[in-house]
Amino acid sequence: MKICLVKRDKPVLEPAYPSDLKIIQRLRPNIVKSVDLKQPRNYEFHKKLFAIAKLVVENVPEGHIWEGKSPYLLVKSLMYEIGMVDIYQNIDGSVRLETKSLAFDAMCHSEFAEVYKKVVTICANILGCTFEELNKRSKNLEL
């Protein structure tokens, strides 16, 4: 069961939509419920990561491993490098690693923020600058 809640001024979470209220009304009273709270990501934050990846791909030195590659491939490869992977076992017993999905419903804001920090730090190293410099420079990028 999935519901959306909104925090108001008081330390209280309220149903965000009428459908959420209906779900809450069906719950038995005085029974503790446990939920995993996720804050949806800002789409601009997502676009910013790929704008930085595009900047890296376009500005790597000639002959660099990322020269001419896609920003998407760079991000997925760096996610693999930082360990943001899911582990699967194939029928034959071998193990397969796949990078975690960056889809909005697959990764909340705080999880994405962790990926962003680590990936942009590596991107900054590739370009020979610091995370702070690249993050500040990204404010001028076209998203």
Q: Which has the higher per-residue pLDDT, 75 or 34? A: 75
For the residues 84-95, what does the mean pLDDT come to? 92
For the residues 15-38, what does the mean pLDDT come to? 87
Alpha helices in the chain (DSSP H): 18-26, 43-59, 71-81, 109-127, 131-137
Of 126, 123, 100, 125, the residue nearest 112 (C-alpha): 100
Lowest mean pLDDT among 20-34, 57-71, 96-110: 96-110
Distance CA 15, CA 38 (A): 15
pLDDT bin (cut points 50, 70, 90) of residue 57 is: very high
For the residues 71-87, what does the mean pLDDT come to? 92
Token pair listed for 14: 């309220």
Distance CA 50, CA 81 (A): 17
In CATH terms, the fold of domain 43-140 is NinB fold (1.10.3790)
Overall pTM surpassing 0.85 (yes/no): no
**What residues does each domain of the chain span?**
1-37, 43-140
